[in-house]
Structure 1
Amino acid sequence: MSMIETKGTWTAVHPSPPGVTGLDTNHVRWGKGTQKSGYKFEGGRTEARLDGTEFVLGTFTHENYPIDSGETREFDVDLKVQVRFEDGTTSDLNFTFHHNETDNSGPHPNDIVSLPKFISPQTVTVNGEKYKVVISGFKQGGRVVREFDSKENSSNSAAVVALFTKPGKPDVVITHVDPKGTVAGSQSDEYVEILNRGTEAADMSGWVLHADGTGKDFTFPQGTVLQPGGRFRVYTNERHPESGGFSFGSGQPVWHDHGDIATLRNKESREVSRYPYGHRITPQPTEARSPGQAHPHVHIQNMGDAPLGKQKVTVRLPQDGPFRFTSDQNTISVWNNKANKERKFTGTVSDDGRVLTAEVDLDLPGGGAGAPLWTQAAVDAGATPGPYTVHWDFGNLGATDVTVTVK
């Protein structure tokens, strides 16, 4: 994980509509007369993880007002985003937004903003490793889309979601399962969402999406290609061309409402991605004293039908906090309810003592079983009293922040 700060400037509009102003700022406008439409980009400070997890690059706003754009109805607007990392280094990333100034009185009066290029041509170096930055899309109402439908006579905003990825290969993962359809009985509108977070296209011909609970499979047809940053949805018994048009074709629900595991395998039957759902991770605030020990706790509950299995668990202490993992504080503990005892899983500690990573067997049966997890870190002498945030990451299962208050 890396803390980054972003800020953006609009560098070019091509072909240019009349009245363009604001180039080389974060707010570009166009249109004849005093009233103009335009784009704004507001960056900020955020935690950007390096494992392909999406983060918010900034906020995009389209000020959409009826304007005269002459004969130029479609054009590209180039954005340069400066990213500043914790060590003070900076990188400039370049992306293109495509604008469709639709006919305000036509069948679709809303303007359309899309992303013709998802990958910045530049690479960035973080902790000695090279990465590309891919824009996933615009996030609205919990859904990431590639086209931003902008209402007339209003200012419309959405988060621009991006991710770091290793260059030169595809990286296909299951990102979401929506198991509770709104169609009574068949739940035909259940779906699974799949993302290519890599920089190369993925040929998914013959790949299989498997529902563990019901045993149902969907096989992707020959010629199925998922582009970098692209998303597919596989519905239970509906077809939506805008998200690939894929369907199990099942008249019965495919996904268990309370919990299940979605698995994606390639044509060689190798597991590419696994997505368990139906669990709850709850932070447990704790107190610590200086000098002394801190014991960040979480509680995980499995409401599904299958055990959660082995997961890569990462605990990150705050970079500016008074906590350290030491050489003999390198375990994550789980209370095993079946055996009525503690199980310890040994991991590795980063050189700065801020990060502990371990493979943990979350042997929790379904049906609501739960267990506490905790670890131990040293508290510096003379630590400033107050609350500090410890980040727990469970990979596909999700993440949460725990508050440790130093007294």
Structure 2
Amino acid sequence: MTALRLTSLCIAAALAPNANAFTVAPPLVIDVPTPSFSTSSSVIQTSSSNLPSQLQLLDKVGSLTVAASAATAPAPAPAAAKPAKAAAPISIVDISYNGNVPRTEADEFVVVKNNSKDTIDVSGYFIYPATSGTQGSTFYFPKGSAIKPNASVRIYTNEIHKETGGYSWSSGKALWNNNGGLAVLKDSNGKKLGEYKYVASDK
């Protein structure tokens, strides 16, 4: 072979494609196991019987709201006490019905008090025992009689005591039943001002 032919062959061989030089590696394949999603009822349970309904939840919320409101609500103000009834300006406040004087009990007496802050003219006012339900012996305050503020006078059965007003029924016998009774006080117009009831245990 001539040198020129060898050279040509070498060049041709060099330019010829080399199968091993340009071989592309096959793609890498990795087997990844597909995850298993089980929907078995033993794994996932959504039974509605175990869940509270919306109505039940609303009831509970409502109950809690009411309870909270009751707990924070201010206590109602106590009812105002009713004012005590004022005493009448003139009233019978005591009766000493069991006198020490034999037979006539002349030392019995009735106490009449002025409960006001002003002097009251009691002219014509009268008092009587009403133990039997009818008007008994009656005492009338004479004209010009007056009782000072918060002061009291006594009307004796048959004695005169100027230090307590000097008033007397001038009765020859006892007026007040020792077993209990009732006295009535009226003004000069016959209007009932009050009464005083007593029982034997009072004295």
TM-score by length of 2: 0.54
Structure 2: gaps of 5 or more residues: 1-79
Equivalent positions of 1:178-257 (< 5 A) are: 178-213=96-131, 215-257=136-178
Residue identity opposite 1:254 in structure 2? L
- Do 2:156 and 2:167's aligned partners in 1 also have CA atoms closer than 8 Å? yes
Deviation per residue, 1:135-192 (Å, 9 max, x gap): xxxxxxxxxxxxxxxxxxxxxxxxxxxxx968xxx71111101111100011000000
The one-letter amino acid of 1:178's match is S
Q: Which residue of 255, 265, 269 corresponds with 2:190?
A: 269
8 Å CA contact 1:208–1:219 kept in 2: the answer is yes
8 Å contact kept, 2:157–2:168: yes
| SS of structure 2 residue aligned to 1:242 | helix
Aligned counterpart, 1:135: none
Mapping 1:7-406, distance limit 5 Å: 171-213=89-131, 215-278=136-199
Q: Runs in 1 of length 4+ with deviation above 2 angstroms?
A: 126-129
Alignment partners' CA distance in 2, 1:200 and 1:237: 29
Work out whether residues 178 and 200 of structure 2, in 8 Å CA contact, stay in contact via their aligned partners in 1.
no
Aligned alpha-carbon RMSD (Å): 2.6
Whose strand proportion is higher, 1 or 2?
1
Q: Judging changes above 3 Å, is the alpha-carbon distance between structure 1 residues 231 and 182 closer, same or farther for their aligned structure 2 residues?
A: same
Structure 1 gaps of 5+ residues are 1-125, 132-163, 282-407
SS for the counterpart of 2:163 is: helix
Instruction: Report the 3-state secondary structure (helix = DSSP H, G, I; strand = E; otherwise coil) of the residue aligned with 2:184.
Output: strand
Q: How many percent of aligned residue pairs carry the same amino acid?
A: 28
Between the aligned partners of 2:82 and 2:94, the Cα distance in structure 1 is 31
Distance 1:234 1:221 in 2: 12
| Distance in 1 between residues matched to 2:201 and 2:166, nearest whole Å | 31
* Highest RCO, 1 vs 2 (Cα 8 Å, sep ≥ 6): 2
- For residues 201 and 163 of structure 2, what CA distance do their matches in structure 1 show? 32
Give how far 1:213 is off.
3.5
Q: Decide whether aligned partners of structure 1 residues 165 and 199 sit closer, same or farther in structure 2, where only a CA change above 3 A counts.
A: farther
User: Secondary structure of 2:113's match?
Assistant: strand
Deviation at 1:260, TM superposition (A): 1.0
Where is the helix percentage greater, Structure 1 or Structure 2? 2
Do 1:165 and 1:199's aligned partners in 2 also have CA atoms closer than 8 Å? no
Distance 1:209 1:236 in 2: 12
Return closer, same or farther for 1:236/1:128 CA change in 2, 3 Å cut-off. Answer: closer
Whether the aligned pair in 2 keeps the contact of 1:165 and 1:197 (CA below 8 Å) is no
Amino acid at match of 1:177: I
Distance in 2 separating the partners of 1:179 and 1:248:
14
